[in-house]
């Protein structure tokens, strides 16, 4: 959606200079995320786009304190709307935040639901746990939520087990559960990847509705730039553990400032490219151990200069843009940089 308010209002999540390290078996400390900063304002839909291994999922897990034991926060911090330091909270306090303040839905709705419990009960249980509602109240609320997320025959569906539901319906149940306690922030990690095209469109529409009706902020994580571009207010593009570009969705997509974003857009097999050769980014993402001192994209970048191999570019403001936006590229020099890269 273009025209949404630029951030500046109330913030529900702030990630600041976050650095995550993975302890490898041989004792090496490998940086999974470096200098990641991100803000999500109230009622905003922010997209994080990147290819596998870029760190987008681990970023979302770190917000909820769900990192695997091998990965730890090695710098920076994660703060909620009340400026609480989420990365320092213990398991008990995190449990109070998860689901109530920040809820999450995952890619695969089948493995996220308990197969031995009816879907209605699972949602009602979550409501009772967080709000202390009575059984009756929780049940009524669940049926209401099922209706809200567009599940057919909510009263009957309440008593169904997950295996009786299609993938799209299960994802709706997950969304109902996630929004049951009116969280400030909903994190959706590839919520439509496992679903069919027509169902994908339905789920994305539902996300927009949730934002419009309840003002829920959404952090939408996806590998599919084309898919989420229509839903997000802002987009952050990640590459090899860093945010390489960030700004208003329409701006980033129309005039990408970072060569990686430009390359990604150019490699999409869009209808307008029929009959032409697709642009492709040569090579593949460097593995964790292969990341050198320079820009991680340098080995695949058509514009890479000596400086790119030696020194990591910092994220900085892009001049001449209507909305605040930034990119991490040495080529974005003083003169305004590569405006038309990749087009």
Partner 1 sequence: MSAPEAILELHHIEKSYAPKRWLSRGETLRAVDGVSLSVRKGETLGIVGESGCGKSTIGQIASLMLRPTGGSVVFKGEELVPGRRSPRDSRRSRIQYVFQDPYSSLNPRFTIGRLLEEPLAIRKKGTRRERRREVLRMLSRIGLDPAYADRYPHELSGGQRQRVGIARALMPSPELLVLDEPVSALDVSVQAQILNLLKDLQAERSLTYLFISHDLNVVHYMSDRVAVMYLGRIVELAEVGELYDGPLHPYTRALVDAIPDEPGTTPREAEIIEGELPDPRQLAGGCAFRARCPFAHERCGRQPLLEEVKPGHYVACHLLEPDRD
Where does this chain bind partner 1 (CB under 8 A)?
A: 51-52, 166, 168-169, 196-202, 205, 223-227, 229-230, 250, 253-254, 263-265, 267-274, 277-282, 284-285
CB of 88 to partner 1, least distance (A): 34
CB of 255 to partner 1, least distance (A): 8
CB of 202 to partner 1, least distance (A): 6
Give the nearer residue to partner 1 in terms of CB position, either 138 or 298.
298
Q: How far apart are CA 188 and CA 175, in angstroms?
A: 9
Give the nearer residue to partner 1 in terms of CB position, either 135 or 254.
254
Q: How far apart are CA 301 and CA 242, in angstroms?
A: 16
Contact predicate 190/222, CB 8 Å: yes
Give the nearer residue to partner 1 in terms of CB position, either 74 or 266.
266
**Secondary structure element (H or E) that encloses residue 91, with its range:** helix 91-97
Euclidean distance between the first and final Cα of the chain, in Å?
Answer: 23
Please report how many Cα atoms fall inside a 13 Å half-sphere around the Cα of residue 145, on the Cβ side: 27
Give the nearer residue to partner 1 in terms of CB position, either 41 or 263.
263
CB of 252 to partner 1, least distance (A): 9
CB of 299 to partner 1, least distance (A): 13
Q: How far apart are CA 147 and CA 88, in angstroms?
A: 38
Give the nearer residue to partner 1 in terms of CB position, either 263 or 294.
263
Give the nearer residue to partner 1 in terms of CB position, either 14 or 224.
224
What does the buried/exposed string (b/e) look like for 137-173 if buried means 16 or more CB atoms within 10 Å of the residue's CB? ebbebbbebbebbbbeebeebbebebeebeebbbbbb
**Secondary structure element (H or E) that encloses residue 265, with its range:** helix 259-267
Phi/psi of residue 282, each to 5°? Answer: -65, 155
**Secondary structure element (H or E) that encloses residue 246, with its range:** strand 242-248
CB of 291 to partner 1, least distance (A): 15
């Amino acid at each position: 959606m273009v025209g949404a308010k630029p951030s500046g209002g109330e913030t529900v999540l702030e990630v600041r200079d976050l650095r995550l390290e993975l302890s490898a078996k041989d004792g090496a400390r490998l940086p999974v995320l470096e200098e990641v900063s991100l803000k999500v304002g109230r009622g905003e839909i922010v997209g994080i786009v990147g290819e596998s291994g870029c760190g987008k999922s681990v970023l979302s897990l770190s917000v909820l304190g769900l990192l695997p034991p091998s990965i730890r926060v090695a710098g920076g911090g994660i703060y909620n709307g009340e400026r609480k330091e989420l990365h320092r909270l213990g398991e008990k306090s995190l449990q109070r935040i998860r689901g109530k303040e920040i809820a999450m839905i995952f890619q695969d709705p089948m493995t996220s639901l308990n197969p031995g419990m009816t879907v209605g009960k699972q949602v009602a249980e979550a409501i009772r746990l967080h709000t202390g509602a009575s059984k009756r109240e929780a049940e009524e609320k669940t049926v209401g939520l099922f209706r809200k997320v567009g599940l057919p025959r909510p009263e009957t569906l309440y008593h169904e087990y997950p295996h009786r539901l299609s993938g799209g319906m299960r994802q709706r149940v997950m969304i109902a559960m996630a929004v049951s306690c009116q969280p400030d922030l909903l994190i959706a990690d590839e919520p439509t990847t496992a679903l069919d095209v027509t169902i994908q469109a339905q789920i994305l529409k539902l996300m927009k509705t949730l934002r419009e009706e309840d003002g829920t902020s959404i952090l939408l994580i996806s590998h599919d730039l084309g898919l989420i571009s229509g839903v997000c207010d802002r987009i952050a593009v990640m590459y090899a553990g860093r945010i390489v570009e960030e700004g208003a969705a329409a701006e980033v997509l129309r005039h990408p400032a970072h060569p990686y974003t430009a390359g990604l857009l150019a490699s999409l097999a869009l209808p307008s490219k029929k009959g032409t050769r697709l642009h492709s980014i040569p090579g593949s993402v460097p593995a964790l151990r292969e990341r050198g001192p320079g820009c991680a994209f340098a080995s695949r970048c058509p514009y890479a200069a000596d400086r790119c191999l030696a020194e990591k570019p910092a994220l900085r403001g892009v001049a001449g843009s209507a909305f605040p936006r930034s990119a991490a590229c040495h080529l974005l020099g003083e003169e305004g940089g590569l405006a038309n890269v990749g087009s």
